Amino acid sequence: MSGPDPGPLIRLFGLTGGRARPQGEAFDLVAIVTTVSMAAGRADLMREHLAVLTLCRRPCPVADVAAHLRLPLNITRVLLGDLRREGLVTIDRPRPVTQTIDERIYREVLNGLRRL
């Protein structure tokens, strides 16, 4: 699976049509992806696209999508950008940490860490 063999990389670039960057507005590695439509009847989507749509019926961070698909983050982001453009997923906008973490979440994180 790893190593300098260029074969897998070429296959991966095939997935994105050679693109290295997602289209549209930039999004973070931990932005939350949510499926809006399962794209029934869309024959043009690849297996990987469909896997994303299934996975993100539950909101899921970009990095986790990559882990599930076993694809590099940048490749995953290109696929996600495509799905967003097609209106099949939403990807949340980056928000400053100060706006996302309140005292309740902070407590939850601390307690969660202690429980590990």
Partner 1 sequence: MGYAASESGATEVASALAIKILIAGGFGVGKTTMVGTISEIRPLHTEELLSDLGIGVDDTTGVERKTTTTVALDFGRITIREGLWLYLFGTPGQDRFWFMWDELALGALGAVVLADTRRLRECFPAVDYFEQRGIPFLVAVNCFDGARRHDPSTVRRALGLGALTPIVLCDVRDRESVKDVLTNLVTYAVKGTFSST
CB of 47 to partner 1, least distance (A): 19
Q: Say which residue the tokens 């860490």 belong to.
A: 113
Whichever of 19 and 50 has its CB closer to partner 1, that residue is 19
Cα–Cα distance, 114 to 24 (Å, whole number): 39
48 contacts: CB under 8 Å, gap ≥ 6: 15, 69, 71, 79
Q: Which of 36, 40, 20, 46 is nearest to 85 (CA)?
A: 36
Whichever of 43 and 115 has its CB closer to partner 1, that residue is 115
Q: Given the rule CB under 8 A, which residues bind partner 1? A: 2, 6, 9-10, 12-14, 18-21, 23, 28-32, 34-36, 57-59, 61, 63-64, 66-67, 70-75, 90, 92-98, 100-101, 103, 105-106, 108-110, 112-114, 116
